[in-house]
Amino acid sequence: MAEFRGVTTFKGQPVTLVGHEVKVGDVAPDFTVNRSLLETARLSDAKGSVVVLTSAPSVDTRVCSLQLHAFNRRASEIPGVKIWFITRDLPFALGRFCEAEGIRAVTTLSDFKDRDFGEKYGLHVKELGLLARSTFVVDAQGRVVFREIVPEITTEPDYDAALLAVKAAAGQ
């Protein structure tokens, strides 16, 4: 497993990302995450669709909450596109949060069990055991057309850049 240091920081301190580096133009690696303790989802389940994969450390933090709400609001601008918000939170916590906050346009998924997503996308933060904040856009052919690993984990992603990539991938 490769390690990358200096790609991102946490509160100004460099952290180590572990996994495989995924770049724009790559075929998006398939992965398994959890919808619930027993139900899984795979990227291949969304074959033929444009998919936004956005990851964050934990929905129970302010910036992660802002990120999920922002993608939920912007989902109406990109009809037909699937938005997957992935953290290491337990599925119970994600479900409770979405119910309380009215999140309906984004699918929340957990990488807690197999840590498959974090490793296949090089987003496992070694020092924290959490995912780095990132956004990937995968086109309908399964290619990565946008990638952002946020330089400072405690800041929000570039929603506008991601939305432009989504619209281009969706032919809008």
> Would you name the residues annotated as active-site residues?
64
Give the separation between CA 48 and CA 140, rounded to whole angstroms. Answer: 4
Residue of 131, 135, 118, 113 whose CA lies nearest to 15 = 131
Give the pairing type, strands 51-55 and 82-87: parallel
**Cα gap 86→112, rounded to integer Å:** 10
What distance in Å separates the CA atoms of residue 62 and residue 67, rounded to the nearest whole number?
Answer: 9
